[in-house]
Structure 1
Amino acid sequence: MTESASTSLRSNSIGVSGIVFFVLAFAAPLTVIIGIGPIVLGESGSPGAPAAFLLTTVVLLIFSVGFAAMSREHAGPGGFAVYIGKAFGERSAQAASYIAVVGYNSFLTAGIALFSATTANLLDSRLGIDIPWWAIALVAIIAIGVLGYSEVNVSVRVLGLLLVAEVLIVLVLDVAVFVTGGAEGVNVDGFMPSSLTQGTISVVFLMCFAAFVGFEVTTLFSEEAKDRHRTIPKATYIAVATVGIFYTVSMWAIQLGWGSETAEQATDNPTEFFFTLNTNLVGPWSTDAMQVLVVTSIFAAALSSHGALSRYLLSMGRTGMAPAKLGTTHPRMKSPHIASITQSAITLMLTVIMLMSGADLLSVFYPWIISIGSISILILYVSASVSVLISLRRSAVEQRLWVTTVAPILAAVAMASILTIAILNFDVLTASDSELVNLLWVVPFLAGAVGFAVKFRRVRGETEPVKTA
């Protein structure tokens, strides 16, 4: 077996729809609607939540302009680290890789915690079956590990099936609201500029951006994409637009469904806010199905996180930032099998730590860990925006001012603003009043500093996909 054959992912194996499935799965749209909905529509939120989601979609589409242009020139399973390395050098790429690994591990670990606790509660309440959460977590880690070890298309098929189901169940409610006219008739009050001046709108925008986390994973599959120069940009735009439209319409529908009682209902009973409306308008059967699909939605998000991490570890193994064995792929399936096994071991270790601590999964671990992940990804967004600006300004191919300068600057300013809001409101993310806990936002910065400071033996760059001999 040649070196190139043992380190290359399977080329031309995943199309636009497959990559979009990974992105949508990471976003976990049903879980976001149920979890973030009460926050942005409650008394601490704003009646302008639909408008906020729409504006967030526009900002991320602007970010995607430079992001997509860079994907045509540079690619590799290192994701944002590839772009950042092109603009600022190898040490910065290392820092970005460390931040990404911390961030995605935070999302994956939080996902395992949420999946385990939610599944345990569902089995107990619906079937009277009492299974410890750690047993459910172990099964999930094994299942995700097996799928991650396999060919990428196996995960795509699983994600596609789960995603279609969770999106459809929400769309049924959306249609029911618009057909019945909601509580007080269909209106566009939630899109009025004046609605954005009410409530803690900065927190609303923070929640909106958090709901989109995951669309950047499109670049991680560039080496496996069919005609990557077109597939990655197209998948990025489709993913952002699809998620944005889905969130905007669904938040609007929920707001119409409750009418003037929206803020009160979201504040007084956040856990049943969405389910109660669905039961009233669609029926108990739909709510029963929805509660099951919440579980599968969380699983799909964890699977997508695992796939992203496996490719980051593969990239780090290839370039000398991690043991070279991590940079090898399966001889037949061309999957990042060693990286996948390693990531499963890391996830298991972090789960054991959660178990040994004895802390509550939903009120402690989930908000704390997901907050670290959110800061990590926002740091990468800001860094990538600046990197895109610098790299495209040097490009001999791309000369359009909107693409090389205007869009990247607007994206960098917007992302930096959201990162600042996230740090200033970190206690909102952690749901904690502990000063120590609310300093966890420094973790990604420390990880980046370590990655920048440590000197690695460079093997080869990740600017282009490795060719199979």
Structure 2
Amino acid sequence: MPPPATHPLAAGRLGATALVFVAVAATAPLSVVTTTIPIAYAGNDVPFVPLLFPALAVVLLLFSVGYAAMVRRSPNAGALYSFIARGLGRPAGTGAAWLALLSYNALQIGLYGAVGLLAAPILDNTLGVIAPWWMVAAGCWLVVTLCGLLRVELVGALLALIVLAEVAVIAGFGAANLLEPADGRVTTDTLVPTGIVDRPALGLLLVVAAFGFAGFETTAAYGEEAARPRRSVARAAVLAVLGLSLLYAFSAWTTSVATGPGQVATRSLDGGELLFELIGDRLAPWAVTLGRVMLLTGVVAAMISLHHTIARYTFALAREGVLPSRLGRTGARTSVPFTASVTQSVVALLVLTLSVALGWEPFTELYPWLTTVGGLGVLLLLFAAALATMLFLNRAPNDEGPWRAFVAPVLATVLLGALIYLAAVNLPALLGVPSRHWLVITVPCLFAAVFGAGLLFGVALKARSPITYAGIGLGGTAVVVAPAVPQQRSPGAHRPDRIQRSA
């Protein structure tokens, strides 16, 4: 039997601009600027780091062509899961749904491992307090839990303010680097792909840079709550990709200007402190403190955004009977997925408690391991969604045309598949572990086990509850199954089976 009806998500509460901010917040852009860019420069294997981000933007924009066509067909809180169910079949859709829950939970919970380290210098310099990481994480968990129960338009406004502040800080720091360049001149050496490039390093950095965009695709999860969803959802995803690529490229270039192209590789060995060292040399101490505060705030905003995405995936799956129906309940006044939101908070708390009990190092184990798992999972989902989009749009053609229905999805599928291959080859480096570490085998097996379990569940659901199975990926649309009606025969009519037997 299908799950009982629930209060729907409130329509028309988010405009295209709000969706852009929600998607950008999920990527934690200031965190990418302070960590990914120094990692990319360290070692000087690939000198033209700023160009990596526009190159990846092209791949994601190709994906967004088919993504937009699918959203126009049917906005759905199930987002990529619903695309895959329609294009690759319902069992594959349930497998992708479980993989999506794993990936977004890993991304969100992994960020708790970073907040303690990010908060340490702020607490020490302002209050003279040194707090254990789990205490800071617990405070952030409480904030995320409370924000998960707010009306979505309030959350959108809050995330918009934080993202605007992050962008202002990144732009301000970049401008300071340009006003005081190394050696007194602004160079463009890192904007020109010259010299011999270490191909393995390039492949690794493409994957690392791709993780900086993880979250742009979450706009589809708010399709049922968006104003003019068939246009605003896809437009917001495109604007998020374009904005992030320009922001990252600008920051990477100005970093090389501030250090000097010949010194950027050496200075980048300082890692996440590089940006604050450069700004400390150029601006007043309060600017460094402001940057650290915005970095911490941006990570918390990413956790809030991902929390709401997870809640909507869970709501969509419960509404369709793939998860227990009680997870599909929404607040009568707020119209937020109340039960799904609380459940995600409980899961995060359990994982954090387990990590403390096991003695995991928050910034060297919890944070990189879980966020890498989450980023890889999102790449797999994008690849499956691109393939599913191509198959569905050509199996059920409308007015998309060859470019939207075939060419762009095929190119996106091939390029995303190449990124997944590069990620698999460089998995030990992404996880920061030796090649024989247990994680190198565990992570692919985890993906296969979760997807396989979801796929088998979908197959079993087809046999146990055909009506529920038929509704997978349809966003709660009622499914009518008409019983077969036997054909009426006249008394004197010949029966073909008797004719065959007598022949």
TM-score interval, normalised by the smaller of the two chains: over 0.9
The answer to whether the 8 A contact 1:16-1:235 is kept is: yes
The answer to whether the 8 A contact 2:113-2:362 is kept is: yes
The answer to whether the 8 A contact 2:45-2:197 is kept is: no
Question: Following superposition of structure 1 onto structure 2, how do residues 404-419 of structure 1 map, counting pairs within 5 Å?
Answer: 404-419=405-420
Instruction: List per-residue Cα deviations over 1:417-438 (Å, max 9, x = no partner).
Output: 1111111111111111152022
Q: Is residue 155 from structure 1 mapped to residue 158 from structure 2 by the alignment?
A: no
After TM superposition, the structure 1 stretch with the greater mean CA deviation from structure 2, 34-43 or 170-179, is 170-179
Q: What is the TM-score of this pair, normalised by structure 1?
A: 0.94
Question: Following superposition of structure 1 onto structure 2, how do residues 56-95 of structure 1 map, counting pairs within 5 Å?
Answer: 56-95=56-95
Give the aligned partner of residue 435 of structure 1.
437
After TM superposition, the structure 1 stretch with the greater mean CA deviation from structure 2, 384-393 or 434-443, is 434-443
Which amino acid in the other structure matches residue 396 of structure 1?
Answer: P
Shift of 1:69: 1.4
Shift of 1:196: 7.6
Q: 1:447 aligns with which of 440, 445, 450?
A: 450
- Provide the identity percentage: 26
Give the aligned partner of residue 366 of structure 1.
367
Question: Following superposition of structure 1 onto structure 2, how do residues 129-168 of structure 1 map, counting pairs within 5 Å?
Answer: 129-168=129-168
Give the aligned partner of residue 23 of structure 2.
23
Aligned partner of residue 331 in structure 1, secondary structure: coil
Aligned partner of residue 271 in structure 2, secondary structure: coil
Question: Following superposition of structure 1 onto structure 2, how do residues 22-421 of structure 1 map, counting pairs within 5 Å?
Answer: 22-43=22-43, 45-183=45-183, 185-194=185-194, 197-198=197-198, 200-259=201-260, 260-267=262-269, 269-421=270-422
Aligned partner of residue 270 in structure 1, secondary structure: helix
After TM superposition, the structure 1 stretch with the greater mean CA deviation from structure 2, 395-404 or 246-255, is 395-404
Q: What is the TM-score of this pair, normalised by structure 2?
A: 0.88
Distance, in Å, in 2 between the alignment partners of 1:47 and 1:214 is 27
Q: 1:466 to 1:227 in 2, by over 3 A?
A: farther
The answer to whether the 8 A contact 1:52-1:205 is kept is: yes
Shift of 1:410: 1.0
The answer to whether the 8 A contact 1:6-1:330 is kept is: no
Shift of 1:44: 5.5
After TM superposition, the structure 1 stretch with the greater mean CA deviation from structure 2, 435-444 or 32-41, is 435-444
The answer to whether the 8 A contact 1:41-1:266 is kept is: yes
Q: Is residue 463 from structure 1 mapped to residue 474 from structure 2 by the alignment?
A: yes
Which amino acid in the other structure matches residue 474 of structure 2?
Answer: T
Gaps in structure 1 of 5+ consecutive residues: none
Shift of 1:398: 2.8
Q: 1:4 to 1:444 in 2, by over 3 A?
A: same
Q: 1:195 to 1:150 in 2, by over 3 A?
A: farther
Distance, in Å, in 1 between the alignment partners of 2:35 and 2:300 is 15
Which amino acid in the other structure matches residue 145 of structure 2?
Answer: G
Aligned partner of residue 11 in structure 1, secondary structure: coil
The answer to whether the 8 A contact 2:320-2:476 is kept is: no
Aligned partner of residue 212 in structure 1, secondary structure: coil
Instruction: List per-residue Cα deviations over 1:256-300 (Å, max 9, x = no partner).
Output: 111121011112x22321111112233322111101111101101
Distance, in Å, in 2 between the alignment partners of 1:136 and 1:279 is 25
Which amino acid in the other structure matches residue 463 of structure 1?
Answer: L
Instruction: List per-residue Cα deviations over 1:370-429 (Å, max 9, x = no partner).
Output: 121121111101101101111111243234211111111111111111111111111111
Gaps in structure 2 of 5+ consecutive residues: 479-503
Aligned partner of residue 336 in structure 2, secondary structure: coil
Distance, in Å, in 1 between the alignment partners of 2:27 and 2:173 is 20
Aligned partner of residue 474 in structure 2, secondary structure: coil
Aligned residues: 464
Instruction: List per-residue Cα deviations over 1:41-80 (Å, max 9, x = no partner).
Output: 1116411111111111111111111111111012211111
The answer to whether the 8 A contact 2:86-2:388 is kept is: yes
Aligned partner of residue 148 in structure 2, secondary structure: helix
Instruction: List per-residue Cα deviations over 1:176-220 (Å, max 9, x = no partner).
Output: 233445545233322323258257111111111011100110100
The answer to whether the 8 A contact 1:103-1:377 is kept is: yes
